[in-house]
Amino acid sequence: MNAVSSRGAQTILAPGSTIGILGGGQLGRMLAVAASRLGLNVHIYSPSAECPAAPVAQTVSVGAFDDVEAIIKFAKTCDAVTYEFENVPAVSAKGASSVTPLRPGARALDVSQDRLIEKSFLRAQVGVEVAGFEDVNSVYDLKRAVKRLGLPCVLKTRRLGYDGKGQVIIRSEAEIDAAWTTLAPAPCILEAFIPFEREVSIVAARGLDGQIKAYPLTENVHRNHILHTSTAPATQDNGSAAKIAAKILDHLDYVGVMGVEFFQMTDGRLIVNEIAPRVHNSGHWTQDAGCTDQFEQHIRAVAGWPLGDTTPRHRVVMTNLIGDDVEAWATLAKDPATHLHLYGKSEIREGRKMGHINRISPST
Ligand code: AMP
């Protein structure tokens, strides 16, 4: 153990300390690379020994995310623990936090794992605008909720939805029964359909001392419900998204990087879609923007270090390499303005994130 100052929740990690990461996907991999640049070690906990983070981490423990005992054993070997995806069961996160500082804390998981809790928290506690929503547990609830919110609307499972999985758009009353059958019996939430002009996000960090630093607004384009491109800095950033993100971070007494996704309306109004208590795909552009990237920023926060600079020197367009897009790697690697990031996944599957590229323009 290498913590330099140990006052419970305020522990600051010295170089040589070990950060535990729950999850070993590409986000864990890029966090591990950033940690190694700062002289910190990483211990990955993943259900698979062949996960993308394994080749770049000092230690890997293989176990299930709901194996609380194994997670406590893992956490005992770490000076602080973080997570790279939001579906770590709350009991496991709490188990880890009973023996080691968990950053961000378990509350951020409780809130972001369940769309109903998340939207209620954002609206009632933080006081930010979200899409109209209703709790739905039966086809009867769904019919009533459709009457309240109007058509079109979006039915989503409360838990475990990502990249458009676990959601159905309802455009007419005739589609209600089929929508329910698609997702039932999972507890659901019905959301009003937001006729947004564009989708934007903010990636922001809060340090152990409460300092907050946000990256500029990023504009996101999705294809087939999966993020396709992120462009930063986005045009027309009046700073309100960063203020909303700061309010959310403070309410959660958060430590680390968070992604906040918004729908922006034609009049500029921002509606929060969801929060991700981790480094975020729409923040990958920061790796080649000439400032502290989001992975290093998260590691700095988790270690209790000062946050780094978030002012980009370049304008960057990030494009995800999804499925067989990655087969163009050799051509992409030839272009001097293109920075190639590959995740080391051996099997190409449709819809699978295999890597991304950052294309830079000379200045912001
Ligand atoms: P989510 O999994 O909630 O982030 O949704 C994935 C994508 O579906 C979003 O990025 C939007 O493009 C679209 N979407 C989700 N919810 C809504 C909504 N209430 N109104 C309009 N589009 C939505």
**CA-closest residue to ligand 1 atom 19:** 193
Q: pLDDT value at position 10? A: 82
Task: Point out the ligand 1 atom lying closest to the alpha carbon of residue 163.
Answer: 2
Task: Point out the ligand 1 atom lying closest to the alpha carbon of residue 193.
Answer: 20
86 inside domain: yes
Q: Are residues 290 and 350 in the same domain?
A: yes
Q: Are residues 184 and 236 in the same domain?
A: no
Task: Point out the ligand 1 atom lying closest to the alpha carbon of residue 162.
Answer: 2
DSSP 188: E
Residue pair 109/97 in contact (Cβ under 8 Å)? The answer is no
304 inside domain: yes
Ligand 1 site, residue 226, Cβ cutoff 6 A = no
Q: Are residues 285 and 141 in the same domain?
A: no
Residues contacting residue 330 through CB under 8 Å, at least 6 positions apart: none
Residues contacting residue 104 through CB under 8 Å, at least 6 positions apart: 82, 83, 252, 254, 255, 256, 258, 277
Q: Are residues 161 and 215 in the same domain?
A: no
At residue 8, what is the residue type?
Answer: G
117 inside domain: no
Ligand 1 site, residue 310, Cβ cutoff 6 A = no
- Encoded tokens for 54: 């394994």
The torsion angles phi and psi of 39, rounded to 5 degrees, stand at 75, 25
Q: pLDDT value at position 9? A: 63
Q: Are residues 314 and 180 in the same domain?
A: no
Q: Are residues 31 and 169 in the same domain?
A: no
Q: Are residues 31 and 144 in the same domain?
A: no
324 inside domain: yes
pLDDT less than 70: residues of the chain: 1-9, 162-164, 362-364
Burial 71-110 (b: 16+ CB within 10 A, else e): bbebbebbbbbbbbbbebbeebbbbbbebbbbbbbbbbbb
Dump pLDDT digits (tens) for 110-132. Answer: 999 999 999 999 999 999 999 99
**CA-closest residue to ligand 1 atom 1:** 164
Q: Which of 145, 166, 192 is the last residue of a domain?
A: 192
Q: pLDDT value at position 17? A: 98
Q: pLDDT value at position 2? A: 59
Q: Are residues 213 and 327 in the same domain?
A: yes
Helices vs. strands in the chain: H and E counts, helices first: 10, 19
**CATH number of the domain residue 179 falls in:** 3.30.1490.20
**CATH number of the domain residue 30 falls in:** 3.40.50.20
Q: Are residues 238 and 253 in the same domain?
A: yes
The whole-model pTM stands at: 0.96
Domain range for 320: 198-362
Asked, as a colleague might, if the bond just before 185 is cis with ω within 30 of 0, I would say yes
**CATH number of the domain residue 344 falls in:** 3.30.470.20
**CA-closest residue to ligand 1 atom 17:** 193
Task: Point out the ligand 1 atom lying closest to the alpha carbon of residue 166.
Answer: 2
113 inside domain: no
109 inside domain: no
Q: Which of 192, 210, 232 is the last residue of a domain?
A: 192
Ligand 1 site, residue 193, Cβ cutoff 6 A = yes
Ligand 1 site, residue 161, Cβ cutoff 6 A = yes
Q: Are residues 215 and 335 in the same domain?
A: yes
122 inside domain: no
Number of domains in the chain: 3
**CA-closest residue to ligand 1 atom 13:** 225
At 189, which helix (H) or strand (E)?
strand 188-192
Q: pLDDT value at position 211? A: 98
Ligand 1 site, residue 151, Cβ cutoff 6 A = no
User: Which of 156, 220, 273, 280 should be mutated for ligand 1, with most atoms under 8 A from CB?
Assistant: 273
Q: Are residues 343 and 240 in the same domain?
A: yes
Q: pLDDT value at position 63? A: 98
126 inside domain: no
Q: pLDDT value at position 225? A: 87
Q: Are residues 15 and 139 in the same domain?
A: no
Residues contacting residue 31 through CB under 8 Å, at least 6 positions apart: 19, 21, 42, 53, 82, 84, 279, 295, 298, 299
Ligand 1 site, residue 37, Cβ cutoff 6 A = no
Ligand 1 site, residue 86, Cβ cutoff 6 A = no
